[in-house]
Structure 1
């Protein structure tokens, strides 16, 4: 297990490793030590995809940016983070038109097939990982109960998309969607708003009291979904991706 200055980590090792919040880094020296520790961990675990996420203040620190460059990190995307209280969330007839089934009620192969279709044409920054690797990383991150979180959405018995609602590891009330989306033929007709709302209702049913979501700055449709479903944008962050995980420079 990686430990670094209270950093918040999304650990899908060996497929992916994300420092979502660098934590208690108080100086450039601490930041460089964090990068060195990542270097060692990546090599030890043979990790395929590595990212660091910085908030606006951190991303404006030129010393941090120079170090990221030295350690082969490239700017990948800017993400907008949204939040919504779930206590006041209401169910309407539109959401009940979508049925959701877990992997246990369907099959893992069907879920992966749907996931592959859903990522086609996505407006977010592309992943360097295959769906198989994303799936295995998700299992590591979410733990042994992952099957109940992997849901296929149906309308009139036809599969239309997937959603992966879960309680964020390390918390007891924070709801997240590991992934969410529609197959291409169901986009553009407000089904995204409906499936997102259905996902928020699921989060509430499993004990989440609030929801945190994020999307890339180019994904205008997803921003609209957040807004329509009562989510408030509260933070902007920048994602840096390790260009070559096995050749990080060392000092």
Structure 2
């Protein structure tokens, strides 16, 4: 297998997928689009009408520098949005396709679509999409599946917008936890940033004083909850507080 022939085959396949995607969903008929690395959802909308898909980020192309960067090489891309592209890298390693294994290199937009087509083929995706971010970078996404609105809402409800960390998963902490003072850090279960959570689990933490009250009240009753005054923060803020409280003196 030579790279050029394989890439052309993938482009033909992606072209057919794009037509099928357009015929079925008419993506150009929506007024707005928004992709969220944290939720992994690409959303098209007009007013209250929404259309959602799961996606992963293949990479980005910069006209300014004339370079392509694979998402697996980009430290600014969230892990869940780029982990699938390691399949492309592994495929490139097996077949000695340098363009699939080098993190960043001189390229053009046509090649960017080739890389997207290859990623789509290797992951049995349903199409691709190319938004432009605030820095003018062209971001190449692979669309993996349609998501019904009820499922999309349940996914989005688990995330919160944060001024410091953009969109991250929702977490819950007592009123006493903060970013400057160590007050102890008790959790429902041991956690680490980026870990998978079941649908029933959330990041939850409280301070030493709240733990004393909780134990005295034999659990989280009304009195304990009133003392804790649980508030919502993002996952990034949660682990910033955890790091502060658990780091050595």
Per chain length, whose mean CA-contact separation is higher, i.e. which structure has more relative contact order (CA < 8 Å, sep 6+)? 1
Q: Report the TM-score range of the alignment, normalised by the length of the smaller protein.
A: under 0.3
Normalised to the residue count of structure 1, the TM-score between the two structures is 0.21
Q: TM-score, normalised by structure 2?
A: 0.21
Greater C-alpha Rg: 2
